[in-house]
Amino acid sequence: MPISEPFVPAALSIPAIPPRLPSRVLVTGGAGFIGSALVWALNGLGIERIVVTDRLGRDEKWRNLVPLRFEDYLEADDLMAPLERGALGNFDLVLHLGACSATTELDASYLAKNNFEVTKHLAHWALGHDVRFVYASSAATYGDGAQGMDDRDNSTAGLSRLRPLNAYGYSKHLFDQYAAAMGVLPNVVGLKYFNVYGPNEAHKADMRSLVHKAHGQIQETGRVTLFKSHRPDFADGEQRRDFLYVKDAVAMTLHLAMTPTAGGLYNIGSGEAHTWLQLTGALFSAIGMPSAVDFIDMPESIRAKYQYHTQADIAKLRAAGYTAPVTPLGDAVRDYVQGYLANDRRLGD
């Protein structure tokens, strides 16, 4: 049966996780996917003294903000000047989610300015004002995973071994390396998000999760299209990813943000790899239909950059005191489909 009230993971429903709640928070990218989910989660902890920045543009990202409670909104380009002159008041936490997250973006100069330079500027401000700084890195920094996906080696030598496969991943890797070289990485928290999916991603166009895209395909045709495998060691649909529900992602994020002893880079994932067929199977089950999958050739342009297996090692996250269980794939997909996609709902609706 459809879920009338979408569930909230235990980590968000029990405010005992954080030793001290922040009094005032700046959330960049706060109208976006994970950013708006963080504002929703902060609201659930009773925190409404929040300033949100983003670039609303021409899509419907603004709809993510409608159910949320916050003090003020600024366009991203209007943030730094009033922040630096003190016009925005005091903060004790910055959650920096603002970035271009398109893995297909080819303008490396734009990514360097938008993802690296802005993060650097904001981090210097936060550290200079003794404000906790938490920023979004990415699992894309690991590239094809040949060097592993271990978040424990935060040294400049360890990070220099990684080889991102796209400009987006490199723009994130640049700041990880910069923070390590400057010696400030232990004083901030960088979050290497894996394949996050869930409510509030509708505006992301081609960067939406497969769950969102496939749900639309099923409504139109009753079938789902997946890429064939172009490696002999992986059957079609058996490529594996670490899929993480956004409600778990924000619970992990806030735990680290509110744990003063946490510092450096952390993997934000489920710690388990599932195949695309397992994911689509969970989706068809949530809709109440038998699976029907077609396979098509992967475009030549992405074959060399395609990740066939990602799996987060979350031992460091667990060592930082995050003990909540990760929502099982089937339960998470069912909550997303029946609680949100079926009714075009956002978090907080």
At residue 120, what is the residue type?
K
**Interstrand relation of 72-75 and 224-227 (parallel, antiparallel or unpaired):** unpaired
Q: First vs last Cα of the chain: how many Å apart?
A: 20
Question: Cα(76)–Cα(138) distance, rounded to whole angstroms?
Answer: 21
What Rg do the C-alpha atoms of the chain give, in angstroms?
19
168 catalytic? Reply is yes
Catalytic residue (choose from 135, 168, 266, 336)? 168
Question: Cα(206)–Cα(210) distance, rounded to whole angstroms?
Answer: 10
213 catalytic? Reply is no
Element (H, E) at 15: none
Question: Cα(3)–Cα(40) distance, rounded to whole angstroms?
Answer: 19
Q: Give 32's contacts (C-beta < 8 A, 6+ positions apart).
A: 54, 61, 64, 97, 98, 101, 200, 203
Kindly report the number of other CB atoms within 10 A of residue 6's CB atom: 17
Catalytic residue (choose from 120, 204, 228, 305)? 204
- Give the active site residues: 168, 204
